[in-house]
Amino acid sequence: MPQTKPDGVTPSQTVGPYFAYGLTPNGKYDWNDAFNNNLVTPDTSGERIRIEGEVFDGDGAVVPDCMLEIWQADAQGRFSDPQDKRAVPNTSFKGFGRIGTDAKGGYAFDTVKPGVVPDPDGKPQAPHIVLAVFARGMLLHNYTRIYFDGEAANAADPVLALVPADRRATLIATRQPGSGNAVYRFDVHLQGDNETVFFEV
Amino acid sequence: MTLVYPVQSLAAHPPRLSPAYKSTVKRSPSKPLIPMRHTLSELTGPVYGHETVRANDHDLTVHGKGEPIGERIIVHGHVLDEDGRGVPNTLVELWQANACGRYVHVVDQHPAPLDPNFTGAGRAQTDAQGYYRFITIKPGAYPWGNHHNAWRPAHIHFSVFGHSFVSRLVTQMYFPGDPLFPFDPIFNSVTDEKARNRMISSFDLENTKPDWALCYRFNIVLRGRNATPMENS
């Protein structure tokens, strides 16, 4: 069939307030989850971690109708996508997770700490997870990254280097005290003084 | 800076702050977004097998014990990129109100009936050429609290992945000729008329199934990789 070139992309629209039964039913609706917030599979290698936090609006109020999606490399720095030509996945780790925030704006993901991924020049990027933020009141999702505190590689990361020093902390998940699997806290501020750095990609 | 996926494509999207849609006022960034190069993290994306989509997930009219109330419709189309290339094997998720304009979601308190035979969620995977097809019920318009006498035009929510994390798209499909278009701040948040019209499906008589269901076509255009050789610097 002959294809005519479209005159542009389909514009984005908000997920609205009612996405949960379709995208994040989580046992509350008569529909199954395509994805959830537990990325760990039995054969996944690497350090098990939990990332948790809350989402806030410009008034500091929690956002209970937000959807978060993460995408990350495995512990060896490989993406579960044939477009990653280096990928030789030895696990069933998919690297993608999705969750809706709860009534208090909270969320959590169980995953593994990602490995080092090269930048376009072949230089190493510090371990990071990419995060897309969707919500009622957001006509287009926001794109950001989760980095990890205590990571020496952060100092040389080419993306963190683009961010004004006084805003970098908004991208760094903070290790929480406690024993057992590492827990990192990463809050998302959609607007305001502590506004999370969002990237244009 | 030449990006692997041209950043110019983003101009079609609504501004994040669109004050006529009041909820954007406290949920849009107040600081400028920081441009960055696309790395492997942005240029890859989740890949799904057939296990994600079950046999009847695309037919929202067979998920209950009986047939849902309302006007049965076929919604189909082509997922393609800006250069007109089909996007094969990508996940398309859909959710919508029922024929009365009521969502199953617990927060929706619009005094219109729920339909025990209609949840309003579906998913499909595009075929090898990028085509998808759903069978569903035409959703109704419904009121919302944005301003006095505010009503959303009938719409179906779509979520699509595409080839990479930067081609991710969530949008809404509208129906042709809806009288509510001029009054809807979400539809009109897209300021370019041509871009706005890309969110409106077209009536498809050719694929309407006689004695059974009207058909609407909704093509979804995702960002495409730069056609020129990759020069990501």
pLDDT in tens, B29-80: 999 999 999 999 999 999 876 678 999 999 999 999 999 999 999 999 999 9
In chain A, the residue whose alpha carbon lies closest to the alpha carbon of B85 is A3
The more confident residue out of B226 and B166 is B166
Is the model's pLDDT at B227 over the cut of 70? no
Suggest the residue from B21, B34, B164, B188 to mutate for an interface test with chain A (most A CBs closer than 10 A): B34
Tell me the average pLDDT of chain B. 94
Q: Does any CB of chain A come closer than 8 Å to the CB of residue B109?
A: no
Q: Catalytic amino acids of B?
A: 103, 142, 152, 155, 157
Closest CA to A144 of B31, B156, B129: B31
B104/A29 touch (CB, cutoff 8 Å), yes or no: yes
ipTM of the complex: 0.95
Segment B193-210 mean pLDDT: 98
Task: Kindly report, residue by residue over A50-64, the tens digit of the pLDDT.
Answer: 999 999 999 999 999
What is residue B32's predicted lDDT score, i.e. its pLDDT?
A: 96
A75: alpha, beta or left? (left if phi > 0; alpha if psi -120 to 50): alpha
What is residue B229's predicted lDDT score, i.e. its pLDDT?
A: 45
What is residue B141's predicted lDDT score, i.e. its pLDDT?
A: 98
- Nearest-by-Cβ selection for A139 from B40, B189, B232: B189
- State whether CATH 2.60.130.10 applies to domain B7-222: yes
Q: Does any CB of chain A come closer than 8 Å to the CB of residue B170?
A: yes
What is residue B51's predicted lDDT score, i.e. its pLDDT?
A: 75
C-alpha B40 chain-centroid distance: 26
Is the model's pLDDT at B170 over the cut of 70? yes
B30/A192 touch (CB, cutoff 8 Å), yes or no: yes
User: Residue ranges of the domains in chain A?
Assistant: 20-189
User: Residue ranges of the domains in chain B?
Assistant: 7-222
Q: Does any CB of chain A come closer than 8 Å to the CB of residue B165?
A: yes
Is the model's pLDDT at B232 over the cut of 50? no
Is the model's pLDDT at B126 over the cut of 70? yes
What is residue A67's predicted lDDT score, i.e. its pLDDT?
A: 98
In chain B, the residue whose alpha carbon lies closest to the alpha carbon of A12 is B171
CA atoms within 13 A on the CB side of A10: 31
CATH number listed for the domain at residues A20-189: 2.60.130.10
A191/B28 touch (CB, cutoff 8 Å), yes or no: yes
Segments of B31-146 assigned E as strands: 34-35, 72-81, 91-96, 121-125, 131-137, 142-144
Which residue shows structure tokens 């729920």? B114
Segment A76-92 mean pLDDT: 83
Closest CA to A199 of B214, B33, B157, B166: B33
What is residue B2's predicted lDDT score, i.e. its pLDDT?
A: 57
In chain B, the residue whose alpha carbon lies closest to the alpha carbon of A69 is B165
**Is 0.90 surpassed by the pTM of this model?**
yes
What is residue B49's predicted lDDT score, i.e. its pLDDT?
A: 66
Tell me the average pLDDT of chain A. 94
- % pLDDT > 70, chain A: 97
Q: What's phi and psi for B40, nearest 5 deg?
A: -55, -30
The more confident residue out of B80 and B2 is B80
What is residue B230's predicted lDDT score, i.e. its pLDDT?
A: 45
